[in-house]
Amino acid sequence: MEGHPLALHDVMFIPALVAQASDEQNKKWLRRAQRREIVGCYAQTELGHGSNLRKLETTATYDVSTQEFVLHTPQITSLKWWPGGLGKSSNYAVVVANMIVKEKHLGPHSFLVQLRDEITHQSLKGITVGDIGPKLSFNAIDNGFLGFDNYRIPRTNLLMRHSRVEPDGTYVKPPHAKINYSAMVRVRSHMATGQGNFLAQALTIAVRYSTVRRQGFIESGEQEVKVLDYQTQQHRLFPSIAKAYAFTFAGYETIRLYEQLLKEVDTGNVSLMADLHALTSGLKSVVTHQTAQGIEQARMACGGHGYSQASYISEIFGVAVGGCTYEGENMVMLLQLARYLVKSVEQIKAGESGKLGPLVAYLAVKVDGVDLEKGVEEYMKAFQHVSRLQTWKASEKFLKLLKSGEKREVAWNKSSVELTRASRLHTRLYIAETFKRSVQEVADPRLKEVLTDLLHLHVNYELLDMATYALEDGFLSSSQLDYVRDQLYFYLAKIRPNAVSLVDSWEFSDMQLRSVLGRRDGNVYENLVAWAKASPLNKTDVLPSVEKYLKPMMNSKL
């Protein structure tokens, strides 16, 4: 759970080579990396720069006389900082540096750089590398720092699948400005399923424990009720079960789109890139945020025992919540998507609705109202409405400020909170629609019925959560909102008998969950006692510190 030092070798280093190195280069490197003869990582973020790639300070200056790039770290903030596996494990790295050829700054490019001797593993001359210290989690990974002191690498170590520098310094541009972002797009695509998996683990523990824990009474009787029978407990957990499924479905669809993109990019077609880049930015942000919240609620749903490391939920949280920040800070991600949304609004205003991508086409179509009792299709229209309303409002706010003479960045900044709200609503629409499509495709009728209940729960929960936007222009009435509430509580109760099966169906083993509370056999209390007795403090009845600290204090007279 705390991560593996070589994880980034597989997750970032090899995919970066696949996506960015030329076929010829990969003949040299890829096979060696796959055989782990060399171990690598992906070094992009710097101590002083994460989100603003254009301002990365590490330079790679081309020396035409020797046909080498000179890597350099001009100041302390330019140190590479955070890359997983960089500090101690890797002997190579894909390093992103600002490329300078003939005194021209050509922006961030990727280079394969050797950091350590392949035999002795000692760091090479001109390289400063080490571990960045303990973190919230992932402490089995050596996230590292890296500095260069005029460190030379051959010209041919520039990854040249999409752009090239010829021996004489001639630069050949990539076909698409954002082509080198594909590694990030890929990782963000996988994050939705990964986060759904973290959420599912926490929910498995919390739901199982909630059928073991008994507290209080509902129907009178001798025995107290399982806490899962409380509506408040169901409300804490079941909407997150729906989300864990929804995120997984959304992730699968996005990965499929990414694979399609990769094929098209190789044939020179980059039209999907903007769509997918915007979508994965929003998806990554919404999914990680809601996952972290869902895991915390799952932990708290376990009451006091959720706070014990025996629950293991706080460890899952620590790992999952990293996703809110790594691979693109969430607020920055939402604003990237917002840029795409505003552009789409501008296209509509310019009468170019026909050019809109399929995911934003709804922004051009107005709907006056919905009849929610007709089913999930109508909820989708409601989600479209609130996303459209907020996207237009936020875009108009920005465009009006711009028109009033504000500088573009100032106008953008003044509209940015409203813009992030639009991005979230747009993404939640995408998640709901993917969820709906995926459930519709399920063949087994009994499985489909349970998943349809979850889908109903999801759309009612979501619509209530974003009701402000649906009420403010009269799109939804107060009585429609009461209908949504009634449906929400109806589906909580309906899902209750299937709740344990829904989490069991994820098939986590006890070894994977590492949780005393989430044990498949339900023998929680006796195992909590056994777990506690193994605490290091219980080796002796009287701690050594008693003699040293407690007794002198107790015998001193104040």
Active-site positions read: 327
| Nearest to a second copy of 127, 429 (CB atom) | 127
Min dist. Cβ of residue 523 to a second copy (A): 11
CB of 422 to a second copy, least distance (A): 13
194/265 with CB nearer a second copy: 194
Q: How far is the CB of 96 from a second copy (least distance, A)?
A: 15
Q: For residue 164, what are the β-bridge partners?
A: 172
- Measured from the CB atom, is 38 or 270 closer to a second copy? 38
Q: Which residues pair with 145 in a beta bridge?
A: 81, 130
> Which is closer to a second copy, CB of 272 or CB of 422?
422
Q: Decide if 191 contacts 503 (C-beta within 8 A).
A: no
Closest to 359 (Cα-Cα) out of 287, 431, 419, 420: 431
**Choice between 194 and 318, CB closer to a second copy:** 318
Tokens 């998507």: give the residue: 337
Burial 273-284 (b: 16+ CB within 10 A, else e): bbbbbbbbbbbb
Q: Which two tokens stand for residue 295?
A: 């895991």
Strands 59-63, 92-101: pairing kind = parallel
Burial of 69 (0-12, 13-18, 19+ CB in 10 A): buried
In whole angstroms, the minimum distance from the beta carbon of 499 to a second copy comes to 16
- Distances in Å between the Cα of 440 and the Cα atoms of 97, 178, 494 are 46, 35, 20
DSSP 388-432: HHHHHHHHHHHHHHHHTT--HHHHHHHHHHHHHHHHHHHHHHHHH
Query: Taking the CA atoms of the chain, what radius of gyration do you get in angstroms?
Result: 27
Min CB(167)–a second copy separation in Å: 32
Least distance to a second copy from the beta carbon of 555, Å?
A: 8
Question: How would you classify the pairing of strands 151-154 and 92-101?
Answer: unpaired
Distance CA 423, CA 425 (A): 5
When the beta carbons of 64 and 132 are compared against a second copy, the nearer one is 132
For residues 270 and 454, which CB has a smaller minimum distance to a second copy in the complex? Answer: 454
User: What distance in Å separates the CA atoms of residue 389 and residue 421, rounded to the nearest whole number?
Assistant: 11
Q: Least separation, in Å, of the C-beta of 410 and a second copy?
A: 6
- Identify the CA nearest to 141 among candidates 86, 187, 61, 198: 86
**Are 294 and 240 spatial neighbours (Cβ–Cβ below 8 Å)?**
yes
- Asked whether residue 84 is marked as a ligand-binding residue, the answer is yes
Burial of 428 per CB tally in 10 Å (0-12, 13-18, 19+): buried
Question: CB–CB of 152/62 below 8 Å?
Answer: no
SS3 71: strand
**Annotated binding-site members:** 45, 84
State the binding site for FAD. 45, 84
